[in-house]
Amino acid sequence: MSKKILLSENEIPENWYNIQADMPNPALPPLHPGTKQPIGPEDLAPLFPMELIKQEVSQEKWVEIPEEVRDAYKIWRPTPLFRASEFEKLLGTDCKIYYKYEGVSPSGSHKPNTAIPQAYYNMKEGVKRITTETGAGQWGSALSFACQRFGIECEVFMVKISYEQKPYRKLMMNTWEATVHPSPTALTESGKKVLAADPNSPGSLGIAISEAVERAAMDENTKYSLGSVLNHVLMHQTIMGQEALKQMEKAGDFPDIVIAPFGGGSNFAGLAFPFLQYKLTEGKNIRCIASEPASCPKLTKGEFRYDFGDTVGLTPLMPMYTLGHNFVPAPLHAGGLRYHGAGVLVSQLLKDKLIEAESIQQLDSFDAGVKFAKSEGILPAPEANHGIASVINEVNKAKAEGVSKTILFNLCGHGHFDMSAYEAYFAGNLTNHYLTDEELTTNLKELEDIPMG
C-alpha cells in the first residue's frame, strides 16, 4: 500500500469541470438588488472581468485552463493524495480513509487554485487593482500571491477579529505587497454604517465583502474578487477533485463518501463535484457531505431563499441557503467558515438532496484535528478540522453498522498560522456555540421584503 499517491506535472488537468452542465435542476438566476429582476452580464461588468462573467453562466461541461495558469499551478500542483493509514489505526477502523492535501500551496490552502486564474483573467483585461475580503486570512494570502505573480495591486479587507488573531497572515499578505485593512473600516460608507451601529464590531465576511465591493465599484481600474461562493470559483477548484479521481484510480479505489468543510462551498465543490458527476450522469452511489460549524449552520438550519451575499446589500440577490445577511456568527476560530450564506450551485444540489450537510461543534472539531495531527503528523487548519470530525462520525457509523467504507476528505489547509486557536483549545478556553432558533428567526425576519425564490 502506498502512503502517498502522486501525479506528475504533465498530469495537471487541462480543463475545469463545470457541474452546471450535469445538474438535473438548473440554479435560479441571481437578481438585481434594486429591480429584483434577473441580472445580465453588464450588471456584473463593473466588478468582474468579462471572461469570469462568461464562466459564471457557462453551461459548457469543460472549460479550458489557460497555459499560463497551468504554469503557475506547477508551483504546488498536482497536490498529493494520502492514505490516512495512521489515522485509521488510531481510530481502530476497517474503513479506508484518503485525504487530498492542499496545504502544500504557497499560501497554505486550496485558495490559490482560484486566485491564480482570477488574477490572470483580470491581468489579461488590463485591470490595475483588485479588492477582496478575507476571513481567516487564507483567501487574502492566496489572492496577494496571485496578484503579485501577475503584476496587479491587491487591497484586502480582513475581518477584524481574524486580523487581531492572526497577525502573521497580515504580514504574509504584506510580503506579497498587498495592503490589508481590519474590517469594518472608516474607508467606506459600508464600514462607517456598521461602525456607527457598533463601534466594537468584530467584523464578518459579509461586512468585509460590502467594503471590498464598494471600493471596486467606485474605481474603473479596480475590480473585485471573491474567494468562494460564485460558480466560477467553485469551478476553478475542481482541479482538486479531478486530480483526486486519477489518484484514486491509481490506488485502485473509489470513495463511497467524500467529505469537506464548508464556508461558501469552494473546497467542498472542488473535491466533490468531479466525483458527484458520476452520481448525476451514471447514477453511481456516492455520498458527498459538507461539514459546517454549529455556530454558523446555514446548510443544516438556514432557509433556502434569495439573499444578499454581503451585509449591506450591494451584491446581487442569490438563491441560496442563508442565515440572513445580517447574521454575525460567534467569533469561532475557523474564520473561513463564518459566512452567512452558501454558493448557489451547492445550495441547489442540497435542495435536490444530491448532497448532504452536517454541523460540527467547535470542540469536536479541534478534538478531531488533534487526533489527526498526532497520527498523520500534519496540523490541519481549524476549518479542515470540521471535515475530519465528520470523517470520525462516518467511521463510527460504519462501525455500528458493521461495514467498511472508503472515505475521501479534503485536508484543505494547514494550521501553521492558527496556533493561537490551538493554544486556546489546549488551555481549555474554547467553547461550543449554538445558534438558537430565536436568533435565526430574528435574522430571517429581516429578509421579508426579498423574494423567496
* Positions in the binding site for ligand PLP (CB under 6 A): 109, 135-136, 138-139, 228, 261-268, 336-337, 381, 383-384, 412-413
CA distances for 30 relative to 72, 322, 350, 352, angstroms: 32, 14, 18, 18
Which is closer to ligand PLP, CB of 95 or CB of 339?
A: 339
- Is residue 356 a contact partner of residue 300, using CB atoms and an 8 Å limit? no
Q: Which three cell numbers stand for residue 358?
A: 452536517
CA dihedral over 299, 216, 237, 183, signed as positive or negative: negative
CB atoms within 10 A of CB 36: 12
Provide the pairing of β-strand 62-64 with 257-261: unpaired
CB of residue 303 vs ligand PLP: minimum separation in angstroms? 19
Which is closer to ligand PLP, CB of 96 or CB of 425?
A: 425
CB of residue 336 vs ligand PLP: minimum separation in angstroms? 2
Helix (H) or strand (E) holding 321: strand 317-322
Which is closer to ligand PLP, CB of 320 or CB of 450?
A: 320
- Is residue 350 a contact partner of residue 269, using CB atoms and an 8 Å limit? no
What's the rounded Cα separation, in Å, for the pair 290 and 299?
8
CB of residue 388 vs ligand PLP: minimum separation in angstroms? 12
Say which DSSP state 31 is in: B
CA atoms within 13 A on the CB side of 19: 38
**Biggest CA pair distance of the chain:** 61
Which is closer to ligand PLP, CB of 264 or CB of 324?
A: 264
What's the rounded Cα separation, in Å, for the pair 167 and 172?
9
Which is closer to ligand PLP, CB of 144 or CB of 228?
A: 228
Which is closer to ligand PLP, CB of 203 or CB of 263?
A: 263
Which is closer to ligand PLP, CB of 78 or CB of 264?
A: 264
CA distances for 239 relative to 67, 140, 154, 187, 427, angstroms: 14, 20, 24, 36, 38
What's the rounded Cα separation, in Å, for the pair 84 and 207?
38
Which is closer to ligand PLP, CB of 93 or CB of 165?
A: 165
3-state secondary structure of 301: helix
Provide the pairing of β-strand 303-308 with 317-322: antiparallel
Which is closer to ligand PLP, CB of 96 or CB of 319?
A: 319
- Is residue 412 a contact partner of residue 384, using CB atoms and an 8 Å limit? yes
Which is closer to ligand PLP, CB of 93 or CB of 268?
A: 268
CB of residue 259 vs ligand PLP: minimum separation in angstroms? 13
What's the rounded Cα separation, in Å, for the pair 387 and 383?
8
What's the rounded Cα separation, in Å, for the pair 315 and 308?
6
Instruction: Compute, in degrees rounded to 10, the torsion defined by CA atoms 129, 131, 134, 140.
Output: 0
Say which DSSP state 182 is in: E
Which is closer to ligand PLP, CB of 123 or CB of 272?
A: 272
CB of residue 409 vs ligand PLP: minimum separation in angstroms? 12
CB of residue 229 vs ligand PLP: minimum separation in angstroms? 7
CB of residue 414 vs ligand PLP: minimum separation in angstroms? 8
CB of residue 292 vs ligand PLP: minimum separation in angstroms? 9
CB of residue 22 vs ligand PLP: minimum separation in angstroms? 21
- In 3-state terms the chain splits into helix, strand, coil percentages (rounded to 5) of 45, 15, 40
CB of residue 169 vs ligand PLP: minimum separation in angstroms? 10
What's the rounded Cα separation, in Å, for the pair 69 and 429?
43
Helical ranges in 199-323 per DSSP H: 205-217, 231-251, 266-282, 298-301
CB of residue 282 vs ligand PLP: minimum separation in angstroms? 26
3-state secondary structure of 2: coil
CB of residue 109 vs ligand PLP: minimum separation in angstroms? 4
Which is closer to ligand PLP, CB of 95 or CB of 234?
A: 234
